[in-house]
């Protein structure tokens, strides 16, 4: 829903149509009003208020520390900006795993306090009860399988997931469970392209990949990574569409120089 109370043009139903028509789905993260406005005006289909905000906005090493209040702050800023794209907000670590009633109240807080359109959460069978309870309240849910950064302390590494047959089999099972429960889509992160493509072919709901190859129904990237604001993070799957780190550094150093020299402000830049 937009702040005007009207349904945004991109709905979960529209995403399902896009999959049926073979139209690829574009998705990027955003965490603030100004970025979300630019993304929405550019025509992005889905904006994810990812818990990667913990990394790129707050500077934490993992996504574990970000809170529900933090996610609601970011979600509200993004949802206020967006008129067209579907807005999905991540449920942060610790707000849905242990107890499905708590999962539902976390999801309800996100929906009421941000005016986003859907929530996303990580995991398969182990969080199925939470998924089902959230869905039963009429809240659209997106799944997230493969590399699930909230479980970093279990796996100890961000390397490619589901390379072994047993883990690949579990991922396929989990994807079917999420679809059968009623999820409207699934993010597959950092898994072999062949496996991701198999899941996209077997499932009717849209599969959005990040580091999962081109055989899925859409792609998502973290906006700071694709804009080249974060220049120390270079996984193989990342394509940089700009080098904002250099552009911003040049702008900042020129501003500092102009202030120090007394060149800014000039006569036309004052009252
Ligand atoms: O938090 C996030 O940005 C995500 C994407 C990597 C899919 O979950």
Kindly list the domain boundaries of the chain, sorted by start residue. 12-240, 244-271
Q: Which of 220, 224, 226 to mutate to test the pocket of ligand 1 (most atoms within 8 A of CB)?
A: 220
**Is the separation of the CB atoms in 36 and 75 below 8 Å?**
no
Is the CB of 123 inside a 6 Å radius of any atom of ligand 1?
Answer: no
**Is the separation of the CB atoms in 248 and 229 below 8 Å?**
yes
DSSP secondary structure of 92-135? PTTSSSS-HHHHHHHHHHHHHHH--SEEE---SGGGHHHHHHHH
What is the rounded distance in angstroms from the CA atom of residue 216 to the CA atom of residue 219? 8
Task: Tell me the pLDDT tens digit for each residue of 242-259.
Answer: 999 999 999 999 999 999
Q: Residues 94, 99, 101, 106: what is their CA dihedral angle, to the nearest 10 degrees?
A: 10
What is the rounded distance in angstroms from the CA atom of residue 212 to the CA atom of residue 218? 10
Residue 202: active-site member: no
Nearest CA to ligand 1 atom 2: 50
Provide the pLDDT confidence category of residue 213 given band limits of 50, 70 and 90: very high
- What pLDDT score does 37 carry? 98
Is pTM beyond 0.85? Reply is: yes
Quote the Cα angle for 216-28-209, to 5°. 20
Provide the pLDDT confidence category of residue 232 given band limits of 50, 70 and 90: confident
Q: Which of 145, 210, 229 to mutate to test the pocket of ligand 1 (most atoms within 8 A of CB)?
A: 210
- What pLDDT score does 8 carry? 82
Stretch 169-194: mean pLDDT, rounded? 98
What is the rounded distance in angstroms from the CA atom of residue 215 to the CA atom of residue 227? 24
What is the rounded distance in angstroms from the CA atom of residue 75 to the CA atom of residue 135? 19
The kind and range of the H/E element at 208 are: strand 207-210
What is the rounded distance in angstroms from the CA atom of residue 185 to the CA atom of residue 178? 9
Considering the domain 12-240 in this protein, what is its CATH number? Answer: 3.20.20.60
């Amino acid at each position: 829903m937009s702040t005007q109370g009207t349904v945004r043009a991109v709905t979960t139903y529209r995403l399902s149509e896009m999959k049926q028509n073979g139209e690829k789905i574009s998705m990027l993260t955003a965490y603030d009003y100004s970025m979300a406005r630019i993304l929405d005006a550019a025509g992005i289909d889905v904006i994810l208020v990812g818990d990667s905000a913990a990394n790129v906005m707050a500077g934490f090493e993992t996504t574990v520390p970000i809170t529900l209040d933090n996610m609601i702050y970011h979600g509200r800023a993004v949802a206020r900006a967006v008129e067209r794209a579907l807005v999905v907000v991540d449920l942060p670590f610790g707000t849905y795993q242990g107890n499905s009633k708590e999962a539902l109240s976390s999801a309800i807080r996100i929906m009421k306090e941000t005016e986003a359109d859907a929530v996303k959460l990580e995991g398969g069978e182990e969080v199925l009860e939470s998924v089902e309870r959230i869905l039963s309240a009429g809240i659209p849910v997106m799944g997230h399988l493969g590399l699930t950064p909230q479980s970093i302390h279990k796996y100890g590494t961000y390397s490619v997931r589901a390379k072994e047959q047993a883990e690949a089999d579990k991922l396929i099972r989990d994807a079917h469970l999420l679809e059968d429960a009623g999820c409207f889509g699934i993010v597959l992160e950092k898994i072999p392209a062949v496996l991701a493509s198999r899941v996209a072919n077997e499932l009717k709901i849209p599969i959005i990949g990040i580091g999962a190859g081109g055989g899925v129904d859409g792609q998502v990237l973290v906006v700071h990574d694709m804009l080249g604001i974060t220049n120390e993070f270079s996984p193989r799957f990342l394509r940089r569409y700009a080098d904002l780190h250099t552009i911003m550094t040049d702008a900042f150093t020129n501003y500092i120089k102009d202030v120090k020299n007394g060149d800014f402000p000039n006569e036309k830049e004052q009252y």
